Amino acid sequence: GAVVSQHPSRVICKSGTSVKIECRSLDFQATTMFWYRQFPKKSLMLMATSNEGSKATYEQGVEKDKFLINHASLTLSTLTVTSAHPEDSSFYICSASRVVGSNEQFFGPGTRLTVL
Amino acid sequence: SQKIEQNSEALNIQEGKTATLTCNYTNYSPAYLQWYRQDPGRGPVFLLLIRENEKEKRKERLKVTFDTTLKQSLFHITASQPADSATYLCALANSGGYQKVTFGTGTKLQVIP
């Protein structure tokens, strides 16, 4: 149990376009979902935390108008990278927590975004 | 400034030996510390969590220690196998922090047959 999926696994887009990444908890309801990005050989960096039905909380330095997060249901969160640029190319990973206040996060497989 | 440092970028070890990975932190008061495994192109997989009031935790061939005085956690894999080859990440959450964890940069472990 506690499986998290992401779609797509890889995406290549042109500069200036928007890309949507989906994160789904397949067999549990996720009270909280997290979005991270990871550069090669670097650590995961938390971008934002979202709770179902409320606005996401963004980390310092993350532009909320650039990275739109929607947590529409207890099993789905989406991250939209708007007007993508080459510097947005990265590995985006979501995670989900089952229980409010739980320490354990279940990670998705990640999405590799390449902006040309 | 806050830092989480993992001892080395890469660690090579002979099959059957014990691998020891180190995680040091500064300017944190962690409520707990976690270890994850990450394979190339994949998301992290949770392995173990140890709380600030715990000294040691074990799970099968894995052992984690937590020394809040030294501000260090050690992660051991005994009887290492080639299948253990991966990047291992430590992550910690500050006291009072709600579920927000901060990750170290990871140590890439290579177990040589």
B52-96, pLDDT tens digit by residue? 899 999 999 999 999 999 999 999 999 999 999 999 999 988 765
> Which has the higher per-residue pLDDT, A74 or A19?
A19
Share of chain A above pLDDT 90, in %: 70
Taking a C-beta distance cutoff of 8 angstroms, is the pair B66, B54 a contact?
Answer: yes
C-alpha to C-alpha distance for B44 and A93, rounded to whole angstroms? 9
Please write the tens of the pLDDT for every residue from B33-43. Answer: 999 999 998 99
Q: DSSP assignment, residue A87?
A: G
B48 touches chain A (CB under 8 A): no
Question: What does the block give as tokens for A1?
Answer: 């149990």
CA angle B53, B57, B59 (to 5 degrees): 155
Per-residue pLDDT, A39: 86
State mean pLDDT over A82-110: 87
Question: What does the block give as tokens for B58?
Answer: 């074990």
Chain CA centroid to CA A86, Å: 18
Question: What does the block give as tokens for A38?
Answer: 């990871």
Per-residue pLDDT, B1: 78
Residue A51: helix, strand or coil by DSSP? strand
What mean pLDDT is reported for chain B? 91
Per-residue pLDDT, A52: 80
Per-residue pLDDT, A101: 60
> Which has the higher per-residue pLDDT, A72 or B106?
B106
Please write the tens of the pLDDT for every residue from A20-68. Answer: 999 999 988 888 899 999 988 788 999 999 888 788 999 999 999 999 9
> Which B residues in the span 4-33 are in contact with A, Cβ-Cβ below 8 Å?
4, 9, 32
Per-residue pLDDT, B84: 98
Q: Testing the interface with B: which of A4, A47, A103, A113 to mutate, by most B Cβ within 10 A? A: A103
Other CB atoms within 10 Å distance of the CB of residue A78: 19
Residue A110: helix, strand or coil by DSSP? coil
C-alpha to C-alpha distance for B56 and A105, rounded to whole angstroms? 21
Nearest CA-CA distance, residue A46 and chain B, Å: 8
Identify all chain A residues contacting B1, using CB atoms and an 8 Å cutoff. none
State mean pLDDT over B94-111: 80
Rounded alpha-carbon distances, angstroms, from residue B92 to A47, A70, A104: 16, 26, 12
C-alpha to C-alpha distance for B9 and A109, rounded to whole angstroms? 22
pLDDT category, A103, cuts 50, 70, 90? Answer: low
